[in-house]
């Protein structure tokens, strides 16, 4: 199976995790866990999903949708028309 670049994942991790920590008043370890163990991050790791084409703020919104609803696919970026 192909994987996306570790540098790409590192970029998204460095952008999204601090946003989670700030908005949800989490310490960094909890924010790291919340993102790395999420369905959103698993989708980001899957090259077939091509989530790496989205900007970091959209990935945060997808994660936030998952956080609020339990399903990242409820995000306006993934719903489709």
Those residues whose C-beta lies under 8 Å from the C-beta of residue 74, and which sit 6 or more positions away, are 65, 66
Those residues whose C-beta lies under 8 Å from the C-beta of residue 38, and which sit 6 or more positions away, are 63, 66, 67, 72
What's the mean pLDDT in 48-67?
A: 96
What's the whole-number average pLDDT of the chain?
Answer: 94
pLDDT of residue 79: 87
Cα distance between residue 70 and residue 3, in whole Å: 25
Model pTM score: 0.92
The two structure tokens encoding residue 49: 């999903």
Q: Where are the domains of the chain?
A: 6-74
Percent of the chain at pLDDT exceeding 90: 89
Cα-based angle 81, 65, 36 (whole degrees, multiple of 5): 120
């Amino acid at each position: 199976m192909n994987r996306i670049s570790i540098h790409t994942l590192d970029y998204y991790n460095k952008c999204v995790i601090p946003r989670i920590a700030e908005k949800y008043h989490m310490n960094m370890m909890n924010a790291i866990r919340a993102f790395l163990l999420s369905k959103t991050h698993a989708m980001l790791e899957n090259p077939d999903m091509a989530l790496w084409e989205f900007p970091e703020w959209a990935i945060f919104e997808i994660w936030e949708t998952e956080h609020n609803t339990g399903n990242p696919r409820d995000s306006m970026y993934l719903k489709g028309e």
